[in-house]
Amino acid sequence: MTTLLLALFAVTMLMGVPISIAMGLSAAVVIVLNDLPVAVLAQRSVNALDSTPLLAVPLFIFAANLLNVTGVTRHLFDLIRILVGRIRGGVAQVTVLVSLVFSGISGAALADIGALGSMQIKMMRERGYRDEFSAGITMAAATIGPIFPPSIPIIIFATAANVSAVKLLLAGIVPALIITALLMIQIAVMARLQNLPRDETVPSLSELGRQFALSLPALLAPVLLIGGLLSGLFGPTEVAGITVVYAILIGRFFYHQLSWTGFVGAARETVEATANVLFIVASAALFAWVLTIDQVPARAAELLLGLSTDPIVLLFIVNGLLLVAGMFLESIAAILIIAPIVTPILTMAGVDPIQLGIVFVLNLMIGLLTPPVGMSLYMVSIVAKMPLPTVVSGVLPFLIPLLLSLLVVTLVPAASTWLPGLLMK
């Protein structure tokens, strides 16, 4: 059964069928051919979507779209550029820091690229940065978004693996800061080797104060979100709803940029993005159910534990599996298929599921930067109007800090478990 399922999935993918349809169609064919109840198609799909944590997904997407409409991203970029733009490679450093701040709003790598990518690359082009470098750092910085809360992939993992979403969201803070620091070190090294440009304009204190005042509501959004989670009064879904209300209020009454047309446009983009995500969730649920009834999780557990029972060794094996899967599978689909199989095995071997969630998501975010299916590559190619080979060559140096971050998160459990353990006592 599993062989037929994977063969059908591979054939449909090679035919260019979207991954969500490929998963659902291959699972449906296997169910029909094996005389399994056809009602399972509707039952499993609906049950997968009947999840309270998943309500946070459209709400966080909506909040990010609303804030983008108000021009918040430009204010953030200008503020951080004033602060660090005069160092060599300063605009590239700004790109990383803006992605860190905006990640506290968007929760998705592609959302970061869509909201920030065009502006960041245009700014670097104007200052003489090579296209390869501009594309590479824009994509690498966007990986911070799905690690720092709110994170849509982390919420999906928490749902699939039955892990606390609040703890997982808090667990992403330290790894996101590690990624930020290592990317900035990489830029500093490349700036010295390649003599990257720096800003020559010296901003006045009044200009800094004005820009800080304009950016303050956007800077407070991540504080509101994390504070809500820590207070214990709100779960991820409630915090997402509050973030939407906050985005509407500051967009309408502080920035005065949120019109009815902009609101409707943000809502339309949210519906489209949410439909894409949830269609993948429903299809992956069918795909995973076929694997489960064919006892793939049990066979996988037997295989992995037969190779080793050492948690670190198992984590490295899973790292290799996920890095390869990330090259071919969309990240949410990979989480929904692989997480229910792997999480019980590694938890049994002594791996903290909180650490595993961060390792899982970071692996798949690196997969967004690797061909042939790396969606960040294609999105930057479209946004910046660059040929795909240029984009691919640009990201290669920035895989070094991302892989080092993955190594730290893998070898040091406290990097992801310390903060939620401290704050959630």
- The 10s digit of each residue's pLDDT in 171-212 is 999 999 999 999 999 998 988 888 887 766 667 778 778 888
**What tens digit of pLDDT does each residue of 233-259 get?**
777 778 778 888 888 888 888 888 888
**pLDDT higher than 60, residue 107:** no
What global pTM score does this model have? 0.81
List the structure tokens of 423: 């704050």
List the structure tokens of 33: 């051919």
Put residue 128 in one of left, alpha, beta given phi > 0 → left and psi -120 to 50 → alpha. Answer: left
The answer to whether 416 touches 169, Cβ cutoff 8 Å, is no
CB-count exposure of residue 77 (10 Å: 0-12, 13-18, 19+): buried
Q: What is the pLDDT of residue 332?
A: 79
- 182 contacts: CB under 8 Å, gap ≥ 6: 401, 402, 404, 405
Query: How far apart are the C-alpha atoms of 284 and 281, rounded to whole Å?
Result: 5
Domain coordinates in residue numbering, the chain: 1-36, 37-423
Query: How far apart are the C-alpha atoms of 147 and 340, rounded to whole Å?
Result: 20
**pLDDT higher than 60, residue 104:** no
185 vs 72: which has the higher pLDDT: 185
Q: What is the pLDDT of residue 292?
A: 77
Residue with tokens 């996920």: 322
Q: Does residue 309 sit in helix, strand or coil?
A: coil
**What tens digit of pLDDT does each residue of 279-314 get?**
877 888 888 888 777 777 667 767 777 777 888 988
**What tens digit of pLDDT does each residue of 354-375 get?**
999 999 999 988 887 887 667 7
